Structure 1
Amino acid sequence: MPQNALLQQAALVNLANAVDAATAYEEHLADAQAIETPQPYRWSIDLVLANIQVAKKFVIRRRARILEQFPLINIAHFDTLGRLALGVKFAALQAEGYGPSESDIKQVLGAARVLRRSLLSAVAAMTHAGLLPREIHAKIARGRGARDAAEDCVALAQVFRQAGTTLDGKHPVTAVEVEQAALAGSWLLEHLRPAAAKPMKPPRPEAVRIRDQMATLLANRYAKLQAMAHFLEGDGWEELVPPLMSRVAPRSRTEPAKKAEGSAQAEGFATAGVAAKAEGSARAGGTTSEATARAERPTSEAAMGPWRSTSLVLPSSEAPPSRPAVVPEQASSPA
């Protein structure tokens, strides 16, 4: 058989289990349309698809334990997360060219700026305490404008993610705020447009609503899987079922040394003398900005919109009675 024919045959074998996006869309459309109040679509769907591929490995590896601990859960919802995500992508393509409204962008930008101030204030305090290199704060704090605010949110979230547990207890920032900052910043980078750019077409309500419903259905099902991963795995569960918009920074060859240095700094901070010095530095350099950030931090769903802090509690019939399964779900100066 000619080589080209062999290659073509191999390609067809690889496609044997492929899913048609339109078919995946139709499979989940009825369930999605049952959602009366969908959340606005804020995703980079290609990133979502990549993170679901990671989560699928967890479902395969822990399938027996999931069925044992949560017998009333419909595990088919987890088996088909990839198909559902493909359906979301198809729905997004149907609404392509229809950008978010100006009010949506302003709402997310306002939330991003509040998150930026909160995270940057914490980074400043930890810089004064010697827990973080000064250049990290200086680099993030020097820009201006809406796009810079979005970039800062992504960069600040990465600072906390890379630090891992070495900074636990050293700052007031929550894991939910870190995830919200990354999500808001990423969404803004995708949708902020230069003044000279060609204007987007006005939204087509039906296609946009279906896209939002499909995405909300995926988010709800994935949140249950995250809750189970937290229950079954404890610490480190996010590595197995990562947040849908989680980004992983490339590892450098010097990263182990940096991690060791960060651990040593965190350990030293725990001693009384260094702790006192750090507290004094934080009060001198970070108290005012931190108080401002706390005052401006959104405290209601209306203030944060889709970026609000939420928690997922599994129904009592699905969670074992011996252990609750509760987990968090799923720029410079403002211009």
Structure 2
Amino acid sequence: MRVDTLALEGISSQSAYEAFLSAAKALEPGFIEECCADIVLAYHGVSHAVEQVLGGGAQSVSGLPHVDVGELSLLPRLVQGLAFAALRAEREREAASFGSLFERAQQERRRLRKAADAFAESHLLPDADIDEVWLHARQDVLEDCLSLVALFRRNAARIAGRSPVTPGEVDAVEQLVGQVRMVLGQSGSARQEENALFRAIEMRDRFWTLLNQRYDVLWRCGAWIYGRAVVDRVPPLPVRPALVRREPGGVADGAAPRVDMVVPRSMSTPGLVPVRGGSPSSPSRTPERAVSRHLDEIQREMDRKTRFLVRIGALPSARR
């Protein structure tokens, strides 16, 4: 699905990009998430959420621990910086000789990783492979593709008949990675293109991760104010496959692209006070399953981070 450059140009801001550049660069590489977002829709959603939380409740949330009201008020500007970073990444992709191949590699990586995450959640993989799925999701795209190919082959018997990815498709991913690497190694100019494109993509993803982390704080502030009605006031960030070309005939002309609503996760959780009950002014209550789903996401993220700390030796392992 191509990026809507005209729509992004309408909200992008180079000054906003430069204002948040140092904060984006300061993020730990292991926590960077791929940007799969409808950025224009996110801009309008974030602007609405900031108004809902800070418009009438700024004074109340300013006293919460680990909450910077000034930082939260600038979230719409952060999205404008993200739009500028996304435009740069798209232009570099179009200019790179291997851009279309790398685009396909990103798409195939997402397919394999989603399937691997599902197998890990269902405990269909050995413990060592579950750790690999959860701890190495942020490595280089090409390396991650090859790691996932090896994982699928190691566990072919375990996942036989349960995988949405066929053995033939796994082989095709390995061949695709070989094609990308061959193009990258053909000339010095290809190597320069690699640097320009990869760095632009990494910066776009850094801005997206920064937005996720700070928007998560805004969501928690909204939950403290509105309780279960928070989803009506602070909607989850809209995500969809990004920088993936739409296959011919895959979507009817004029049809709206599918957009999933995903609650962001931050790598550090602010210690907010317990959530209040629903606001009397709320016209309706959000179903409990929406909040439960968000809590499940938080729990899974904590489990993954705990596994990471065990892996690097920061925490003792429970296995004997």
TM-score (structure 1 length as normaliser): 0.42
Larger C-alpha radius of gyration, 1 or 2?
A: 1
